[in-house]
Chains A and B, each alone.
Chain A
Amino acid sequence: MNFKQTLLLISLSALFYSVSTIAKSQRVVSLNLCADQLLMELLKPSSLVGITQLASDASASFSYKKASNFHQHNDRIEEVMALKPDLIVAGAFTSTATNQMLDQLGYKVVKLGLPKTVDDIIQQIAFLGEQVGQLQRANKLIKTMRDEITALESGDQAAPALRAVVYYANGFSAGKETIVNEILQLAGLKNIAAETGMAYIAPLSLESLLVSNPDVLLLGRLDANTDSLAHQVLQHDAIEKLSALEHVQKISVPDRYWSCAGPSSIAAASYIQQSITH
C-alpha cells in the first residue's frame, strides 16, 4: 500500500467516523463547570443529559440562568452511569480517581484544558463542537465572540492604558499566563501583576498591592449572603484608604465572570470596560 492510498484510507475512515457520530444523537454528560457553560451553548437539553450542580450557582456560573433547563447530576459516578452517556466531558483537573474509574469502565472521556488566550478559547470551542457533532453551532458561537471582541477594541483607542491589578479572594492575583491577563488587555488595561513577573495565579501580599501604584483595582466578589475569610481581605481598611488616598477606582467583578475561560471572558472585559470612568 503506497502513501496516497494510506492517506485516502485514513481520511475516508475519519469521514465515516464523523458521519456516524453526527448521525447518532449523542448523550453527553459534563463533569466540569467550564464544560457545562460551553456545552449549554452547543447542545439541547435532550442531548446534554447532565451538568454539574455548580452550573446553576449564580456566584460561580456565568450561565446560571440557562442551567435550570438542564438536568443537574450530583457528581457521583453511579448517577453519571445511569445517565447512559456516549461522551463524557471532564476538566483536565477533575479528580484523577474519577477520571481513572471512567477510563476503566470504558467510557469515552474528553478532557478540557484551561485556555489562556482568546485563541485557546476559540480552539476549544471548535474542538468541542467537533466532538459533540455541532460544528455549525460552534462556528456561530465563535463568530459572535469575534464580533464582540471587535466592538470592545473599537471602544478604547483614545485614552492611554490604565494600570490595573486584580485582587481575588485570599489575596490572589493573576499574572501573564492566565485568561485574566487576556481579559484585562481586551478591556484596554495593563495588568500590573504580569509586569512584576507573576506568571500564573499566585498570592499578592497586601503590602505589595498597596505599593503597586494601580489606577484601577479589580476586586473579586461573591454574591452570597455569608462571609468567608477569603473575602475579608478584600474589605481590609488598608484597601479603603489606598483608594481614598491615590484616587484608585475600585471595581467589584463578580466571580462568575472569572471562573471559566469562554464567552464569559469577553463579557468580563466588556463589564470592566463599562465600569471604568475615565
Chain B
Amino acid sequence: MPTLNSLNNRYQEKRLTIMLIIALLVLFVISLMVGDVNLSIINTLKNISNDNSSLESIILMDIRLPRTLLAVLIGASLGLSGAALQGMVRNPLAEPGIIGVSTSAALGAVIVFYFGLATAFPMALPLGGIVGALLAVIFLYALTRHNNSMLTLILAGVAVSSLSAALTALALNLSPNPYAALEIFFWLMGSLADRSFTHVWLILPTTLIGWWLMLSTRHDLDVLSLGDDTAQSLGVQIQRLNKRIILGVALSVGAAVSVSGGIGFVGLVVPHVLRPYVGYQPGRLLICSALGGAVLLLAADITVRLLATQQELKIGVLTALLGAPFFLHLILKSKREWAP
C-alpha cells in the first residue's frame, strides 16, 4: 500500500534519474570537444561515417572517446560501490577510498604491472587490482561484522590504507624500471590521461559483472535497512547479499583502479548528496549513485583538461579537494556516535 509520501519519492527519483542521464549526455559531448587541439566534432563524425581516416578522427576516436568512456565506467563503479558498501555496513562513511579498498587494489595492480606479469598476460592487470580490493573488503567486513561503529571502520580503513600505500611504494622502489618510483602519484591520486581503448576493453567485462552483482541486491538492501532480524524474517539471505556486494565492489573497483589509479571520495560524496531524493532507501540509491558518480568523474576529468597547468593535474587531487571537506562535515555531523 503505497503512501502519498513514497509516491512522491518515486516521482522525485524518476525525475532525478532523468536529470542525471541528461547531465551525463551533455558532459559526454563536452568531453569529446575538450582537448589541446580544436576540432569540429560534426565534420569529424561525417568523415568517420564516410570511412575517411584523418588525424581528427584519430584524436576523437582513439584519444578522447576512450578517455570519456573510462571516466563514465570508473565514475559509475565508484559511485555504485560507495552506495552499496554504505547500505551493507549501514554506515555513511564506507567508501572504497576511505576504507582502503582503492589503495589495496592499487597495490595488487602495481605488483602485476611492474614485474612483467601484465606484459605476458594483459588480463592480469585488472585481476591484480581485483585480488587486492577483495582482500581489503573481506578484512574490513570481518572486522565490522560484530562491531559496527564508525570509529572501528575508519581506523581500520586508515590502517589498511597506510599499509597498502607503504607496500605500493616499496614495490615501486623494488621495480627494475627507473621510472616506477615516480609513478606512485598516479597510483595514489589517479589519472585518466592518455589511456586508450586497450584499457576500456580490459576492465569492461569485470566492471559489468561487478555492477550486476551489486544491483541484484537492491531490493534486499531496502529491506536490510529495517535491521538484520526483520530482514531475515522477510526472507533476505544476508550472507548471500554480503557476498554479492563484497565481490561486486572488488570486481568493479579493483578493475577501475588498475587502469586509473585510486580516485578518492566519489563514492562518499555522490550517495550522500543523492540520498534525500530517494527517500533514504539504500537499494533505490544504487542506480542514481552510479549515474551521479559517472557525472562527477566526467566533470572532474573535463576540469583537469581545461586547467592550464604545465603537466595535467591528477584527477584525484580535484576529487579530494571536493571530497575531504565533505568527509569532515559528515564526521562532525555524526559526532554523537563517537561517544562511547
Contacts and interface: CB of A to CB of B under 8 A. Distances in A.
A171 B194 contact: yes
A225 B37 contact: no
A236 interface: yes
A245 B114 contact: no
A196 B37 CA distance: 14
Chain A contact surface mostly: helix
A106 to B, nearest CB: 33
Contacts of B177: 222, 224, 226-228
Contact of A207 (B35, B119, B178): B35
Interface string A200-216: 00110111101100000
B310 A210 contact: no
A242 interface: yes
B55 interface: yes
A182 B163 CA distance: 47
Nearest to A233: B194
Contacts of A169: 179
B36 interface: yes
Nearest to A238: B62
Contacts of B113: 227
B197 interface: yes
A229 interface: yes
Interface residues of B, number: 31
A227 B63 contact: no
Contacts of A241: 53, 58, 62
B114 A238 contact: no
A99 B173 CA distance: 24
Interface string A227-245: 1111111001110011001
A208 B37 contact: yes
A148 interface: no
A227 B119 contact: yes
Task: Give 10 nearest A-B pairs by CB, closest first.
Answer: A230-B179, A228-B179, A238-B62, A207-B36, A228-B177, A205-B36, A207-B37, A226-B177, A233-B194, A237-B196
Interface of B: 35-37, 53-55, 58-59, 62-63, 113-116, 118-119, 175-180, 182-183, 186, 194, 196-198, 310-311
16 contacts: A57-B178, A59-B178, A207-B59, A210-B37, A210-B63, A226-B176, A227-B116, A227-B177, A228-B177, A228-B179, A229-B183, A230-B179, A230-B183, A231-B179, A237-B62, A238-B62
Given A227-B114, A238-B63, A245-B58, 16 more contacts: A59-B178, A169-B179, A206-B194, A210-B59, A224-B177, A226-B116, A226-B119, A226-B177, A227-B119, A228-B114, A228-B180, A229-B179, A237-B198, A238-B58, A238-B59, A241-B62
